[in-house]
């Protein structure tokens, strides 16, 4: 049985002012799609080389406190033979692991989805912990329309997130709870706020039911934004105002940090919106980031699979990490995008 001290030590390492979490846990199909945009085949060696360059980025630990890895990456080594989780630790970055098994259609609920992966989770967590992981992540997704998500989807995904979080804490792993209200569609800002509030309310009801300690978990929600097909897009100030309003209604103050996902926002949008959130005044939680594509995209396109481009790719990653670190304390400005490092 895990001790509260063990979980608190991981929280202390992850929740640091001016730092966030790098999501590098793309599944096989997802990273294949990303690689396709740069004309690189998704072989195991290419995946190893790419994730190695991310974790080896000099000074990355100045702005990144944790990294979410894919299971395959736990077994990978850098060019010099160092295990990648160990490389992260040497950078001052806590290694974590994606533990869900992806989403499938929810039975008898057209348009809704449910995340699977609870079977055997405790045993898998024990193995991941031995490989160096100290926290875990589980993602639930919610499609949005006038009728979606259904009540069944909201309740079923909340139950799965809570069961995962309880098992994680029991095994001494801090759970990142990720309920993602998808940006796909033409829904309004108000509809996104309505769905997000309902989702978060149900998630915390389920977490309470399963006796999950809020102090020893992180929340990774989506920001409240209109669907990307909606003609009326929101300013960073509007996104921040609506997001804070929903969070204050639904998220207990005991949660130490809310690390937003980028969810299809561009790198610049994700940074600007995070900065606006941190300019809304003092909140009971730290407001930071856990971005995947919004941190990695410039680095991926700088790399293009070529060893000669590694340094350039690392500089691109470090720049986005630095800008998001500034945004996480409300100190980002658009003029920083083109300023020299």
Q: Does residue 220 carry a catalytic annotation?
A: yes
Q: Are 199 and 219 in contact (CB under 8 A)?
A: no
Give the burial class of 39: count Cβ atoms within 10 A of its Cβ; 0-12 exposed, 13-18 middle, 19 or more buried.
exposed
Q: Does residue 170 carry a catalytic annotation?
A: no
Give the burial class of 301: count Cβ atoms within 10 A of its Cβ; 0-12 exposed, 13-18 middle, 19 or more buried.
middle
Cis ω before 146 (30° cut-off from 0): no
Q: Give the integer Cα–Cα distance in Å for 293 and 95.
A: 18
Q: Which two tokens stand for residue 96?
A: 């974590």
Which of 98, 220, 242, 319 is labelled catalytic? 220
Distances (CA, A) of 6 to 110, 119, 304: 42, 25, 40
Q: Which two tokens stand for residue 80?
A: 């010099």
Phi, psi of 273 (to 5 degrees): -70, -40
CB within 8 Å of 14: residues ≥ 6 apart: 21, 65, 66, 94, 135, 174, 218, 257
Which of 178, 180, 202, 242 is labelled catalytic? 178
CB within 8 Å of 225: residues ≥ 6 apart: 183, 189, 192, 234, 239, 263, 265, 273
Minimal CA–CA distance to 70: which of 43, 44, 96, 38? 96
* Residue numbers annotated as active site: 178, 220
């Amino acid at each position: 049985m895990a001790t509260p001290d063990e979980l608190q030590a991981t929280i202390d390492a992850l929740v640091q002012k001016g730092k966030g979490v790098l999501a590098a846990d793309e599944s096989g199909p997802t990273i294949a799609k990303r690689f396709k945009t740069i004309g690189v085949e998704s072989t195991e060696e290419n995946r190893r080389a790419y994730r190695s360059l991310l974790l080896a980025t000099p000074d990355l630990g100045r702005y990144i406190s944790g990294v979410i890895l894919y299971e395959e990456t736990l077994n990978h080594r850098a060019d010099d033979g160092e295990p990648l989780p160990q490389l992260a630790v040497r950078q001052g970055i806590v290694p974590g692991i994606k533990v869900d098994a992806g989403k499938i259609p929810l039975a008898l609920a057209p348009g809704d989805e449910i995340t699977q992966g609870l079977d055997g989770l405790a045993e898998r967590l024990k193995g991941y912990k031995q490989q160096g992981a100290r926290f875990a992540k589980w993602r639930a997704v919610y499609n949005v329309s006038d009728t979606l998500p259904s009540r069944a989807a909201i309740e079923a995904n909340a139950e799965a997130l809570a069961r995962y979080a309880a098992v994680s804490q029991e095994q001494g792993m801090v759970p990142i709870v990720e309920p993602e209200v998808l940006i796909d569609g033409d829904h309004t800002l108000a509809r996104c706020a309505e769905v997000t509030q309902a989702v978060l309310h149900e998630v915390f009801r389920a977490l309470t039911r399963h006796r999950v300690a809020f102090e020893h978990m992180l929340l990774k929600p989506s920001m409240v934004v209109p669907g990307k097909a909606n003609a009326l897009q929101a300013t960073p100030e509007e996104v921040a105002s609506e997001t804070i309003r929903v969070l204050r209604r639904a998220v207990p103050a005991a949660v130490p940090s809310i690390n937003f996902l980028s969810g299809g926002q561009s790198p610049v949008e994700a940074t600007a919106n995070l900065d606006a959130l941190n300019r809304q005044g003092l909140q009971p939680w730290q407001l930071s980031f856990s971005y995947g594509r919004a941190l990695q995209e410039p680095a991926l396109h700088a790399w293009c699979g070529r060893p000669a481009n590694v340094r350039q790719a690392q500089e691109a990653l470090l720049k986005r990490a630095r800008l998001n670190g500034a945004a996480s304390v409300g100190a980002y400005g658009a003029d920083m995008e083109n300023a020299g490092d």
